[in-house]
Amino acid sequence: MASSDPSPRPVVLVTGASRGIGRAIAEELGRTHHVLVGGRAADAVAGVVAALPSAEPFVGDLTGHDLPPLPDRLDAIVLSAGVEDGGTIADTDDATWRHVFEVNVFSIAALLRQALPALRAAQGLVVAINSGSGLTSGAGGGVYSGSKFALRALTDALREEERPHGVRVTSIHPGRVDTDMQRALVAREGHDYDAAYTITPEMVAATVRVAVDLPSTGTVESLTVRPMRRR
């Protein structure tokens, strides 16, 4: 049964934790941490909470800024919630651009402003789940890549701003991951889906574990994990 008492364990907030990469991260860190399970749907969040040794829900819409209050103690935050949308520059409307940047950049900045006092007190860790698209872009990828480039700029700046406060900042850049989001992307690209060209959400969670477990005298600043097989 999930416990609501976080005191014996370090506390981590994982956004987007009800499915996919976020859920894999919550399950991995749940072995050692009290997990605040972030998500928009209360029922989906409750299922993850029930499966973890020590967890509680953190339900709300990041873009609506209607989140529950953050705890006084927060040892780490993993920013996994995100959306993928958009096409060519010629064909993508303003609403799509604004929505992708609102979810992938602006809401993260707002959440971090709220979380930083507790993270500073704990000399904690911020892990941003970025993307390989945050390192390079191509045709049809301007919207999503643009948001992930912006997220990389945010985390690079945050790392230097918070270094004097003892807060470490890690940016993780997965390649194609076997998730519902990836399946939708491949369908939109018009290709047949083949999981052999992806990594699993658990592989991304394992890279998060590397950053979390590193002693506080060091920091994993950026880490890329990609499938062995590439198209």
- Amino acid present at 221: E
Q: Which pLDDT belongs to residue 174?
A: 93
**Fold held by 11-225:** Rossmann fold (3.40.50)
Whether 80 shows a pLDDT value over 90: the answer reads yes
pLDDT at 6: 44
Provide CB contacts within 8 A for 97, sequence distance 6+. Answer: 86, 143, 146
Query: DSSP secondary-structure letter at 177?
Result: B
pLDDT digits (tens, 9 = 90+) for 208-228: 999 999 999 999 999 999 988
| Tokens (6 digits) for 64 | 């609506």
More confident call, 49 vs 64: 49
Q: What is the pLDDT of residue 134?
A: 93
The reported pLDDT for the residue numbered 68 is: 87
What is the C-alpha separation between 177 and 202, in angstroms, rounded? Answer: 10
The pLDDT-based confidence of 190 (bands split at 50, 70, 90) is low
pLDDT reported for residue 164: 97
pLDDT of residue 195: 65
pTM of the model: 0.90
Q: How far apart are CA 220 and CA 97, in angstroms?
A: 30
Contacts of 134 (CB under 8 A, 6+ apart): 145, 148, 149, 151, 152, 171, 173
For the sheet with 125-129, list strands across it: 55-59, 34-39, 11-14, 76-79, 125-129, 168-174, 222-225
Place of tokens 């006084």: 72
- The full set of domain ranges for the chain reads 11-225
pLDDT in tens, 132-167: 999 999 999 999 999 999 999 999 999 999 999 999
List, for residues 13-50, the tens digit of each pLDDT value. 999 999 999 999 999 999 999 999 999 999 999 999 99
Contact at 8 Å (CB) between 11 and 73?
Answer: yes
* Nearest CA-CA partner of 13 in 49, 64, 65: 49
